[in-house]
Amino acid sequence: MELCGPRIRLRPPRPEDTLALFTLMSDPELAPFVYWEPHQDPHQTYQYLEHLQTKEGFFVIEAGEQPAGVIGLHLDWANKLGETETWLGQPYWGKGLNTEAKVVLFDYAFGPWDLRRIQAIAHVHNPRSQRALEKLGFQREGLLRRWRWIRGEPWDFYMYSLLPEEWLSSRPPIFY
Ligand SMILES: CC(C)(COP(=O)(O)OP(=O)(O)OC[C@H]1O[C@@H](n2cnc3c(N)ncnc32)[C@H](O)[C@@H]1OP(=O)(O)O)[C@@H](O)C(=O)NCCC(=O)NCCS
């Protein structure tokens, strides 16, 4: 499946993405915000892509025909719930691509997929991620203390959620 916005395309990951995503995933500046260590070898990126291919609801974000990052929803169909996860390579931050990718994905998730809740967790020391969620209408529900053990440290996260009736008014005016 592919989903398109004015400047982005969400499409399934493929092995040919390896080198472009390796360049982005080897960036040490991304490390404080993501679960992985900077990739040292394209084979790590290849394995990451292989894993992504097994996950329904995950897409490569393509901008200008280049892979720019990854967005997805961990889907829990029984509860009509999706947990969103996004990363963009640093050169693509602050350009509106995250908003566009989320609009395209959430329109589909609240539309044909009929989800009743999209949730997201944001590290307490990641204000960019928190702001990016809040400006799309996500409500902060609470603090998840020591929610993830990452690189030998406990990480605290805020839990955010967005409901379809809120999306009707909070959705940015992006048309495609
Ligand atoms: C999180 C991410 C997807 C957001 O994409 P983005 O293009 O950077 O997001 P946006 O520019 O649309 O929004 C970020 C907002 O945070 C604001 N911001 C940036 N740094 C900030 C800071 N230190 N404190 C507060 N706000 C900050 C920006 O000004 C912007 O708000 P504005 O549009 O009202 O000015 C991207 O930064 C990323 O991939 N980061 C690394 C991985 C990551 O953190 N993923 C989330 C895991 S929980």
Query: From the alpha carbon of 33, which atom of ligand 1 is closest?
Result: 44
132, part of any domain:
yes
176, part of any domain:
no
Instruction: State whether the beta carbon of 36 lies less than 6 angstroms from ligand 1.
Output: no
Nearest protein Cα to ligand 1, atom 45: 87
Cα 78 to averaged position of ligand 1 atoms, centre (Å): 31
Instruction: State whether the beta carbon of 49 lies less than 6 angstroms from ligand 1.
Output: no
Instruction: State whether the beta carbon of 135 lies less than 6 angstroms from ligand 1.
Output: yes
Query: How many distinct structural domains can be found in the chain?
Result: 1
Instruction: State whether the beta carbon of 88 lies less than 6 angstroms from ligand 1.
Output: yes
Instruction: State whether the beta carbon of 128 lies less than 6 angstroms from ligand 1.
Output: yes
53, part of any domain:
yes
Per the structure, the complete domain to which residue 55 belongs is given by: 3-170
Instruction: State whether the beta carbon of 105 lies less than 6 angstroms from ligand 1.
Output: no
Burial of residue 134, with CB atoms counted within 10 A of its CB: 0-12 exposed, 13-18 middle, 19 or more buried: middle
19-40 tens-digit pLDDT:
999 999 999 999 889 989 999 9
Beta strands 117-123; 81-88: pairing state: parallel
90-146 tens-digit pLDDT:
999 999 999 999 999 999 999 999 999 999 999 999 999 999 999 999 999 999 999
175, part of any domain:
no
Say what the pLDDT of residue 158 is: 98
Query: In angstroms, what CA-CA distances link 41 with 3, 44, 51, 62, 70?
Result: 30, 6, 16, 22, 19
Spatial distance between the Cα atoms of 159 and 90, rounded to a whole number of angstroms: 24
Say what the pLDDT of residue 175 is: 87
135 CB neighbour count, 10 Å cutoff: 12
Phi, psi at residue 42, to the nearest 5°?
-55, -25
- CATH value at residue 50: 3.40.630.30
**Could you tell which of 128, 148, 158, 159 is best to mutate to test the pocket of ligand 1, judged by most ligand atoms within 8 Å of the CB?**
128
